[in-house]
Structure 1
Amino acid sequence: MSSNREKLVCTGERVIEDDYKASQSSYLIYLFHIATYRFCLPFVRNKRVLDFGCGSGYGTHLLSADCEQITGIDISADAIAYAKDHYRKDNLDYLRVSNIEDESLPFENDTFDTVISFQVMEHIRLVDKYLSEIRRVLRKDGKLVIATPDRTTRLFPGQKPWNVYHVTEYSPSSFGALVRDFFPGTDLYGMSGRKDVLDIERRRTRALRISTYLFTFPFCPEWYRQSMLRLLKYCDGLIGRFRKAGTTQDVQEQKYEFDVEDIQIEREVDASVNIVSVSTNTKTRSP
Structure 2
Amino acid sequence: MTVVADSTSDSESESENETKNVTSEFGVEYTVRFDSERNKLHIYSSNPKDGYRNEGFKIKVDGYMNTYESLNLSANETWSDSFNITRNIDVQRDEHTVRFYPTGEETIEFNFTRDIDPSNTSEVPAPRITSVEVANGTPYGRETSVVRVTVENPAEQLYGTKLMVHTLETDHNRRADATAPPGGETTVQVPIEEPQGAMVAGEVRLYDNNLSDTDHGFDQREFVGEADGDTQVMNRTYEPARDPYGKKPGYVYENESMEAVVEDANESEPTPMEHVITGVGVLVFVLAVWWYRR
Q: Same fold (TM over 0.5)?
A: no
Question: TM class, shorter-chain normalised?
Answer: under 0.3
* Structure with larger RCO (C-alpha < 8 A, sep 6+): 1
Q: Which has the larger radius of gyration?
A: 2
By percentage of residues, which structure has more helix?
Answer: 1
TM-score, normalised on structure 1?
0.22
| Larger strand fraction of residues | 2
